[in-house]
Structure 1
């Protein structure tokens, strides 16, 4: 049997866990009021309320080496393990999983940097199970998932860069800070797997248009998802627009997670897609 290990930023649905007993989710955690809380034990609204009140970044913690080893040790030695995690551009989770894999001494653990998050990770997990059902060998599944990761694209706009700035995750987008009060930043994960500035515009409408243009620039697409943080109405409007543009693709819409809210703040809306 092959097992999939992921983290809570993948927004794995309860029905997916129920359907796949060989799917394991290792929690990220957040420090609120001096206490670390597993991501699945706190809401996005609680994270935003605390961050707005304190005007400070909420520290987040990737799963520890011990967290990974505990999961690995529960899986029979003869079974393969595929880890699919949040982009290394914003988190050390991938490196933590690789360290744990080395410490485990097992040769059948593959760690994949998704180059994305949220719905993009969830799509890759679903891919893994579909390939298992097709009885593909372990190495081929890993190879195909790595290829999918290289074709994943993530772009989003946020009302403010304060959350990224506080958390030190602006990366190459740091140049936007000088004009932060007068722009709507459009951010993306670049080819080097880093947070970068795609554009800076004056209105949210123009920011949405720029994200749609980015999507068109990478067409044809295989899959498209809309992600948001406390911005459902705008996300659904974007979903309808993109669905009209790509009638042959089911465009999905889902929320981010508490850790992503701590990184990026409320009001985010973005597009995560796989190019052909």
Structure 2
């Protein structure tokens, strides 16, 4: 009889209520200041992070190795036979690799580590489906077979007020825009198959960038029914306004606003607005 544990990290942006509902095991990334460091979402909130950015831009790091070890020990102690981890993109963090190495010390626990090659609610959306499959009685083998297919159906897009934070954090990937920023060109950023940021499209100014997000959503909805999450990082009013405009569009089976966590907020800076879309 299989007893399957589901592990994810704070890159997924699932809120505590959802994590608890499905009994997920949670690995927090770390927010590191000169004088202190915090566990992502557990010890620092998105609001606290944004308030601190003017004084100091912290660094981020993968979950603490001992925390991962303790989590795997806890999973084994609770009688789990299998564990599935859905991790933030390896192109942006070493979390998946660290977990893979530590899991080798737990041979009695059959572990599958899925590199989501994405982050935020696209990662969260994949994790949610896995949680629902576990709850409905799907086997370990059935779930790990579905995960790559889910990734193909799940996309994320966002625009930023400035690219400065991505540059400072070394997460700029294949996004280009230094000259464009001087011309007020705003890239719509997505994540490629390697799990790295790239410029999906461009718009002139914030208003047109938000309009481009609407066009992207319309394109997805013209193909199939979709679950939709509006992503926001210190841009709640814009997210609410966008929700009002699109919430009644046909083919949307779920829509809500999702706040990005502190670890992602460090690299995005204030003013992120985006979409996570999962085609059904």
Q: If the length of structure 2 is used for normalisation, what is the TM-score?
A: 0.88
Partner deviation per Cα, 1:111-139 (whole Å, 9 max, x = no partner): 11223333333332321222123211111
Contact 2:116–2:123, Cα closer than 8 Å, also in 1: yes
Secondary structure at 2:158 match in 1: strand
Partner deviation per Cα, 1:78-129 (whole Å, 9 max, x = no partner): 5110111222232221222222223433561111122333333333232122
**In the aligned structure 1, how far is the partner of 2:129 from the partner of 2:169?**
32
> Structure 1 residues 145 and 165, CA, compared in 2 at 3 Å: closer, same or farther?
same
> Structure 1 residues 78 and 257, CA, compared in 2 at 3 Å: closer, same or farther?
closer
> Structure 1 residues 99 and 216, CA, compared in 2 at 3 Å: closer, same or farther?
farther
Q: Corresponding residue for 1:73?
A: 73
Superposition deviation, residue 230 in structure 1: 1.0
Indicate the structure with greater helix content.
1
> Structure 1 residues 179 and 19, CA, compared in 2 at 3 Å: closer, same or farther?
closer
Contact 1:115–1:152, Cα closer than 8 Å, also in 2: no
Contact 1:32–1:50, Cα closer than 8 Å, also in 2: no
Q: Corresponding residue for 1:193?
A: 195
**In the aligned structure 1, how far is the partner of 2:153 from the partner of 2:277?**
8
**How many residues are aligned here?**
272
Aligned: 1:220 with 2:217: no
**In the aligned structure 1, how far is the partner of 2:20 from the partner of 2:194?**
35
Contact 2:85–2:112, Cα closer than 8 Å, also in 1: yes
Contact 1:64–1:96, Cα closer than 8 Å, also in 2: no
Superposition deviation, residue 248 in structure 1: 4.2
Q: Corresponding residue for 1:129?
A: 131
> Structure 1 residues 209 and 10, CA, compared in 2 at 3 Å: closer, same or farther?
same
Q: Corresponding residue for 1:63?
A: 63
**In the aligned structure 2, how far is the partner of 1:82 from the partner of 1:183?**
41
Which runs of 5 or more residues in structure 2 are unaligned? none
Q: Corresponding residue for 2:31?
A: 30
Superposition deviation, residue 12 in structure 1: 3.1
